[in-house]
Chain A
Amino acid sequence: MTGTTMTRPRRDGKSPAVGKGRGVPRLLTRVAVFAVIAAVPPLFFDDYWVFMAAQVLAFAVATLGLDILYGRTGQMSLAHASFMGVGAYTTYVMSSYGYGPAMQLAAVIGVALIAALVVSVPTLRLSGMRLALVTLAFGELLAWAIRNTTDLTGGTQGASVAPLLIGRLDSSEPLHAYLIALVPAAIATAFAVHLGRTQLGRRMLAVRDSELAAESVGVAVARTKITAFLLSAVYAGVAGWLYAGITGFIAPPDFDLFASVYLFVAVVIGGAGTVLGAWLGASYVVLMPEVFTLAGQPNLYPIVGGALLAIVALVVPDGIVGLGRNVWRRIRGVRGDEEESR
């Protein structure tokens, strides 16, 4: 059965329903905005903040991935930072055997996929909170694996990772690190935006909101969850690869349960289910500790993070982006043109 019965002639001019044509200008606007914002850190800030901005780029890849899993598919992972760790440690091992960035990236994606398959296939055919618990155990497993392979991974003391060398760029230079991270972050963002326009993306939303309705139109619920988990793991792995290259040093606490919880805080505060929210979340998770350190109260960061997660989840479940959207809708409502369907 295909859409062959759908050949009734269109009543042209009477269908403002689907705004085609708007696509290209909108795309150009978005690219332009992205480029302008991306130009700000290197133009106006010193090396330290460019280095922080490069980390925001790496973490944006991670939060975009978590957003695909949690924001869009409604599945909770408490091992997202652990998957970043999988990427970072794979990078470290590959680089210590002398492999360059391309091979590192390929290995990172491969290892992240295998780990994600092991975690998700038995878990996601089941319902409910199981994934959250199994990912918890996975986080423990990674910490154990690092602790017990000091020769290979540097163990609890951490490890210095060789900088990424791509062309003339050397990621130990903040500006170069920023430029190197910009490309994967932009690609990851473009794919995440595009995902919202695919049936795959819609399947995820359907699984999040009503598994019954999803099944009723033919969506394979378990397969969709597993696909989302694999995608999020690859995003996290790539983020770990960037993180290792940018910071040059990795240690188990960077990827433990608390790190995963912070990523969660980031996505929820930014606004689950939106690309913009993931970016806001990445900025939060990198810059907020800095702000608290500058204010002389570094210990307040986890306290504020925990309180914010609980409060935002209860009071504004759609995060900053949802808040902004509500304000915008109210302003529009005052203007009184609700009929406009933009």
Chain B
Amino acid sequence: MGDLGQIILGGITTGSLYALFLLGVLIVFQVSKSMNFAYGQVGMIAAFSAWFFYSEQGLPVPVALVIGVLLAVIVNSAIDFAAIRRIPAGRPGLDLVVTLGIFLLITAVMQQLIDANAHTFISLGADTRTEVAGVVVSMSDGIVIGLTVVTVLAAYLLLNRTSLGTSLRASAEDAGIAQAAGVNVRALRTATWAVAGLIAAVVAILVASRLSVDAFYMTPFLIKAFIAGMIGGLDRFWLPLVVAVALGVYESLAVYLLGASAGTPAVFLLIIVVLALVPKRFVNERNEVRA
């Protein structure tokens, strides 16, 4: 039990981080029908600048963390405000191109402002361990899984059980009609991007506390979350999140069974096989309005 349990716990923790991160991608996609390629880098800003402020500038850790999170929220809102809203209609796919530029810009700027090296981050409970049924559980694992469950449930309840959620879903369905019905679509949209920025910041700080922080560490993470979203479908809610957790478990099982370097090819193989085998109707996005 011990080894395998440990592996599965590690997978669930990583998968929870993918899922939490993906939640931010999903709400943005559903409200503004766009993908933000720079999303991982938004989180990186939070963690990297927090590290810079407490380690290099000597600010207290909580203050540094708050500054980092605020920066991420501001940057993510600014991406929507300055770029995504200005994409002309009739140019599908331009959101990815534009945010690809922002991705590059953020990476280069952070590298320039801080540095290009990897640094250890405060551990946030990664060192506090207890043993449960032969499996070593760190406080960080608990925080990650707990936070993911609570956030996802809160998001679900917010979207489906409150009037705010109804407004959100209405503006996701048809912004024009929602506007006419008295929903403040712009404010909702801005709020969604800000919340997504917050989620990215939290995930990035948690990831940094478990690994280390530099200007690039969120990119593999972003790729994994996007892949889960792609397999599960960006216009759904539960399925992509479950896929994200499953992807984390699959990855750690692959590493456990096939060796430390097997993660990347295993994930690649998985997407190719899933995309090749799953029926087209299941994985396709909503069709464009026909004729």
A residues whose Cβ falls under 8 Å from a Cβ of B: 74, 76, 78, 118-119, 121-123, 125-130, 132-134, 136-138, 140-141, 143-145, 147-148, 211-212, 257-258, 261, 264-265, 268, 299, 302-303, 305-311, 313-314, 317
Contacts of A138 in B (CB 8 A): 268
Give bound CA distance, A109 to B39, whole Å: 35
| In the complex, residue of chain B having the shortest beta-carbon distance to the beta carbon of A303 | B108
Across the interface, do B268 and A299 meet the contact criterion of CB distance under 8 Å? no
B162 contacts the other chain (CB 8 A): no
Are A309 and B100 also in contact (CB < 8 A) when A118-B272, A126-B284, A148-B261 are?
yes
A306 close to B280 (CB less than 8 A): no
Known interface pairs A302-B107, A303-B112; 7 further A-B residue pairs with C-beta atoms within 8 A, sorted by A's residue number: A121-B276, A133-B230, A147-B261, A257-B219, A302-B111, A303-B108, A314-B98
Decide if B97 touches A134 in the complex (CB within 8 Å).
no
Residues in B with CB closer than 8 Å to A302 are: 104-105, 107-108, 111
Is there an interface contact between B108 and A306, defined as CB atoms closer than 8 Å?
A: yes
| Residue in chain A with minimal CB distance to B290 | A212
Between A and B, 16 residue pairs with Cβ closer than 8 Å are: A121-B276, A122-B273, A132-B96, A134-B272, A140-B220, A140-B267, A144-B261, A211-B288, A264-B97, A265-B104, A306-B102, A306-B108, A308-B101, A310-B101, A313-B94, A317-B91
Residue among B219, B226, B280 with max Cβ neighbours from chain A (10 Å): B226
Q: Are B101 and A127 in contact (CB-based, < 8 A)?
A: no
Q: A74-B93, A127-B285, A317-B91 are contacts. A310–B102 as well, Cβ < 8 Å?
A: yes
CB atoms of A212 and B87 under 8 A apart: no
Q: Shortest Cβ distance from A110 into chain B, in angstroms?
A: 20
Q: Does B271 contact A (CB under 8 A)?
A: yes
- Chain A residues in 8 Å Cβ range of B106: 306
A258 to B101, CA, bound (A): 11
Interface: B164 (CB within 8 A): no
Are the C-beta atoms of A309 and B97 separated by less than 8 Å? Answer: yes
Smallest beta-carbon distance B224→chain A, Å? 9
CA distance A166 to B276 in the complex (A): 42
Most A C-beta atoms less than 10 A away, residue of B97, B227, B267, B268: B97
Within 8 A of A (CB), among B26-85: 35, 83
Given contacts A212-B288, A310-B98, A310-B105, contact A122 B223 (CB under 8 A): no
Nearest-CB residue, chain B, relative to A209: B90
Chain B nearest Cβ from A162, distance in angstroms: 29
Query: How far is B107's CA from A148's CA once the two chains are assembled, in angstroms?
Result: 26
A134 to B, closest residue via Cβ: B271
Q: Do the beta carbons of B100 and A261 come within 8 Å of each other?
A: yes
CA distance A143 to B272 in the complex (A): 18
Which of A76, A130, A141, A309 is in CB contact (< 8 Å) with B104? A309
Q: Are B264 and A140 in contact (CB under 8 A)?
A: yes
B109 at the A interface (CB under 8 A): yes
Shortest A212–chain B CB gap in Å is 7
Choose one: B98, B223, B288; the contact of A136 (CB below 8 Å).
B223
Q: Which residue of A lies closest to B261 (CB)?
A: A148
When A212-B290, A314-B87, A317-B91 are in contact, do A137 and B227 touch as well, CB less than 8 Å?
A: yes
B181 at the interface (CB under 8 A from A): no
Q: Which residues of B contact A147 (CB under 8 A)?
A: 261
The contact of A141 among B35, B97, B265, B275, by CB within 8 Å, is: B265
Decide if B96 touches A144 in the complex (CB within 8 Å): no
A126 to B104, CA, bound (A): 27
Alpha-carbon separation in the docked complex, A127 to B230 (Å): 11
Residue of A137, A147, A305 most packed against chain B (CB within 10 A): A137
In the complex, A58→B93 CA distance in Å? 28
Q: Are A136 and B226 in contact (CB under 8 A)?
A: yes
Most chain A CB neighbours (cut-off 10 Å) among B101, B265, B268, B272: B101
The answer to whether A125 touches B227 (Cβ under 8 A) is no
- When A and B form their complex, which 9 residue pairs have the shortest distance between CB atoms, in order from nearest? A309-B101, A306-B105, A306-B104, A310-B101, A302-B108, A122-B276, A144-B264, A122-B275, A303-B108
Q: A137 near B105 (CB under 8 angstroms)? A: no
A303 to B110 Cα, complex, angstroms: 10
Most buried by A among B96, B109, B261: B96
> Within the assembled complex, what's the spacing in Å between the Cα atoms of A87 and B283?
32
Contact A133 B261 (CB under 8 A): no
Q: How far is the CB of B129 from chain A (nearest CB, A)?
A: 30
CB distance from A244 to the nearest CB of B (A): 24
Q: In the complex, A302→B111 CA distance in Å?
A: 10
The yes or no answer to B88 lying at the interface (CB within 8 A) is: yes
Alpha-carbon gap, A300 to B264, bound state (A):
32
Would you call B290 and A127 a contact (CB within 8 A)? Answer: no
CA of A122 to CA of B271, assembled, Å: 9
- Tell whether, in the assembled complex, residue B87 and residue A303 are in contact, meaning their CB atoms are under 8 Å apart: no
Q: Mark B102-128, 1 if CB is under 8 A from A, else 0.
A: 111111110110000000000000000
